[in-house]
């Protein structure tokens, strides 16, 4: 996974929702065309820049703001592709690992239900037990490797 760059601008941009990023991107394009601050997000960012960097306005830092917005959009896109690639590697019979407070249990994937290119739900046969999970369980309680399951437990995710 790609991480957020370690500077205040990137951290500020990373807190934006996808819709806010899109709006900020369109406001930057409008500013580039007209030289006028259009929209609330870019105006608010201008105020934030002015508070943090003395005698600096958005026009002087537009390239850095634009880079931070584009990087964040690309980072989210790349992470989404990576996550989808992990999920799409699931097939019936693949061994996965379930992690919870009691430990890690291996099981075989079966009965995958796909919807619009994403896993809606799937079953896991643990030998003596069978459970169904939503697709969102991948990476939170169901892991593709034992190492990922152990890391999740070590980090206190369980």
Same domain, 83 and 116: no
Residue 16 has phi, psi (to 5 degrees) of -75, 150
Mean pLDDT, the chain, whole residue set: 86
Same domain, 83 and 20: yes
**Better-predicted residue by pLDDT, 49 or 1:** 49
Same domain, 17 and 75: yes
pLDDT digits (tens, 9 = 90+) for 46-94: 888 878 776 666 667 888 888 889 989 988 888 887 777 666 677 889 9
Q: Is pTM beyond 0.85 here?
A: no
Q: Which domain holds residue 131?
A: 90-154
Residue 2 lies in a domain: no
Buried b (16+ CB within 10 A) or exposed e, 32-51: eeeeebeeebbeebbeebee
Cross-strand bridge partners of residue 99 = 104
Same domain, 22 and 71: yes
54-58, 99-103, 154-158, range with the lowest pLDDT: 54-58
In total, how many domains does the chain have? 2
HSE of 127, CA atoms in CB hemisphere, 13 A: 6
DSSP secondary structure of 46-84: HHHHHHHSTT--HHHHHHHHHHHHHHHHHHHHHHHHHHH
Same domain, 26 and 60: yes
Residue 1 lies in a domain: no
Same domain, 79 and 118: no
Per cent of the chain over pLDDT 90 is: 32
């Amino acid at each position: 996974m790609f991480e957020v760059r370690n500077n205040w601008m990137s951290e500020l941009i990373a807190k934006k929702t996808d819709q806010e990023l899109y709006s900020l991107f369109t406001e930057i394009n409008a500013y580039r065309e007209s030289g006028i601050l259009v929209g609330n997000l870019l105006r608010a960012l201008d105020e934030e820049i002015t508070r943090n960097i003395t005698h600096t306005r958005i026009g002087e830092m537009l390239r850095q703001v634009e880079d931070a917005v584009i990087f964040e959009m690309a980072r989210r896109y790349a992470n989404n592709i990576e996550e989808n690639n992990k999920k799409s590697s699931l097939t019936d019979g693949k061994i996965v690992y379930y992690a919870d407070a009691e430990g890690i249990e291996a099981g075989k994937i079966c009965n995958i239900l796909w919807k619009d290119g994403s896993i809606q739900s799937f079953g896991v046969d643990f030998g003596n037990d069978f459970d169904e999970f939503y697709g969102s369980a991948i990476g939170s309680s169901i892991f593709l490797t034992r190492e990922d399951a152990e890391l999740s437990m070590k980090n206190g995710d369980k």
